[in-house]
Structure 1
Amino acid sequence: MTELKFPGGLSEIADRYDAVLCDVWGVIHNGRAAFDAACDALVRFREGGGKVCLITNAPVPKQQVIDYFEPLGVPAAAYDDCVSSGDATREELQRRKDQVFWRMGVNSRWERDPFLYEGLDLSFGEPEEADVLLCVGLRDSLNDHPSDYADEMRPGVDRNIPMICANPDKQVRIGGKLHWCAGALAELYEDMGGRVIYPGKPHAAIYELAIARLGTAAENRGRILCIGDSPTTDMRGARLQGFDGLYVGTGLKEHGQDFQTEVADLLADYGEIATYAMTGLRW
């Protein structure tokens, strides 16, 4: 196993990579404001000739992700393209457009939710008539708990309906609070005996889409670096897809002073590895 390295900044390793696949929430912003040092690191990497594709498990098409960047202070110069779990999910939905979908977790207060399936002309129905369960998230991501949905999901398990999980993340930090995501419901669905399809990280579909969008600069997997704050999505995805991984500690977990020991223990707890780790992305 490769020994975990702790570079002082991205500049120390940038010349080893042609492209970066960088997580969004928890790495370049926290849902309230951009992390300026992280954004600057990506800008400088691109100025040196590298390409950057932002890769996020947000259950919306990329345009809805990008629309939030300017108000948060994320500069357009920090990335070449963006790919979301919503993008990969739409491709899966398109392949199943003749089936009946049962929606779970669509919150009418979130105007972005319909963008996930807008223009696909899908048919929606109740659990007893559906072919597929489309899980977008919890209706109240802060106050609900995934276990609250067990009884609601039971008909899908009993009828052997596959779930499409539009966001494999289990939790995300918004400001200073952790919110539950669709991945937590998907985990429960599997524990109950159900089958789940994951278009997003750490599974292959979203990475292949990101590589396609970056083009020739991303053909050599050994020259691609994945950056993220989650052992179970970002670092696991990097390992499964054959990329190097850089773990940053600005997202889900609050780290103390002994960052190196904490990260090593954290990765070991999840049975994952990373090539590098930093307290936060910086140049």
Structure 2
Amino acid sequence: MTQIIGALSEIADSYDALFCDLWGCLHDGRQPWPEAVAALQSFRKRGGQVCLMTNAPRPNRHVIEQLDRMGVPRDAWDLVVSSGDAAQEAMFAGAVGRKIWHIGPDKDEGFFTDIPPEFADAPPITRVPLSEAEGIVVSGPFDEETETPEDYRARFLLARERGLPMLCANPDIVVDLGETRIYCAGALAEFYESLGGKAFYFGKPHPPIYDRARRLMDLPEDARILAVGDGIATDIKGAAQEGIDALFVTGGLAADAFGPDVENPDPVALAEWLSVHEQAPRYAIGRLR
């Protein structure tokens, strides 16, 4: 049964490292939550390592720049690993061809321009119109604030008929930007699959992003890892598949399901909701603190 806790410090001594989600746990897309920042700083002071693990579809340098702009202090984390890192490796290795139709906003430009050193001599990736493409890379809608997956139906049907594979750089379905809910790349990839297309995923809950984090953190096989996140189908499912404990932040995407007090989820509502979603994280908390 999932144990509801009041603070990360109650269980911190049981873990060597955190795989902590960003959006919905550490910040709301515009500003960080001070108590979440303090919780990560305290964990590191105890000797633990913190990997900020995000499904952002950009290389980690761009994620770090965003965190700096928000005012997240560098002493709250050791490493940032993004879905963009893992997906970018696959793209430059040729997973969906070399002529790519890119679906995504301008802010994801770095996915193509920041070439990892190990692929500096690889054949170039060229972005082309759909009619010339060998494959698709989706990092999000072109217009995050107005578009839905349905807006892509005609183009996706054409891509499916041509047998174009899709690389999804962010498996998240939706995120909340302040008070506004927006669709992510995962929603578009899921819609493409529903139309008969083939999509590949590299962020949570899929193994590549966890493998990259363990490798870069140089964690021993017996390291005690806790995944922290608000996404039941990404953070929590991914932790279960990796065989690591999870702390479910109920005050994120699913906050409305657990009663009027975001800081204190209703235990009965939580148990019923988790049962419906067939997940059983070891711990739950209203907000990371």
By the TM > 0.5 criterion, same fold?
A: yes
* One-letter identity of the residue aligned with 1:116: F
Change (3 A) 1:98 1:60: closer
SS, match of residue 89 in structure 1: helix
* One-letter identity of the residue aligned with 2:112: Y
Change (3 A) 1:185 1:38: same
The number of aligned residues is 275
Q: How does 1:199-278 map to 2 (within 5 A)?
A: 199-216=202-219, 218-220=220-222, 223-255=224-256, 256=259, 257=261, 258-278=265-285
Aligned partner (choices 113, 121, 135) of residue 108 of structure 2? 113
Q: How does 1:1-283 map to 2 (within 5 A)?
A: 3-96=1-94, 99-107=97-105, 110=106, 112-120=107-115, 121-216=124-219, 218-220=220-222, 223-255=224-256, 256=259, 257=261, 258-282=265-289
Report the RMSD for the aligned CA atoms in angstroms: 1.7
SS, match of residue 68 in structure 1: helix
SS, match of residue 51 in structure 2: strand
Preserved contact between residue 96 and residue 136 of structure 2 (Cα < 8 Å): no
Partner deviation per Cα, 1:211-262 (whole Å, 9 max, x = no partner): 111113x5325x1000000100000100111111110023212332453233
Partners of 2:65 and 2:4 in 1: CA distance: 33
Partners of 1:235 and 1:97 in 2: CA distance: 27
* One-letter identity of the residue aligned with 2:174: Q
Q: What percentage of residue pairs aligned between the two structures are identical? A: 39
Change (3 A) 1:143 1:219: same
* One-letter identity of the residue aligned with 1:152: R
Partners of 1:101 and 1:270 in 2: CA distance: 38
Preserved contact between residue 25 and residue 287 of structure 2 (Cα < 8 Å): yes
SS, match of residue 99 in structure 1: coil
- Structure 1 gap segments, 5+ residues each: none
Tell me what 2:119 maps to. Answer: none
Preserved contact between residue 103 and residue 136 of structure 1 (Cα < 8 Å): no
1:153 positional shift: 0.9
Preserved contact between residue 103 and residue 136 of structure 2 (Cα < 8 Å): no
Partners of 2:71 and 2:32 in 1: CA distance: 5
Preserved contact between residue 19 and residue 52 of structure 1 (Cα < 8 Å): yes
TM-score, normalised on structure 1?
Answer: 0.92
SS, match of residue 21 in structure 1: strand
* One-letter identity of the residue aligned with 1:143: T
Partners of 2:286 and 2:96 in 1: CA distance: 47
Partners of 1:53 and 1:210 in 2: CA distance: 7
SS, match of residue 137 in structure 1: coil
* One-letter identity of the residue aligned with 2:62: Q
1:74 positional shift: 1.2
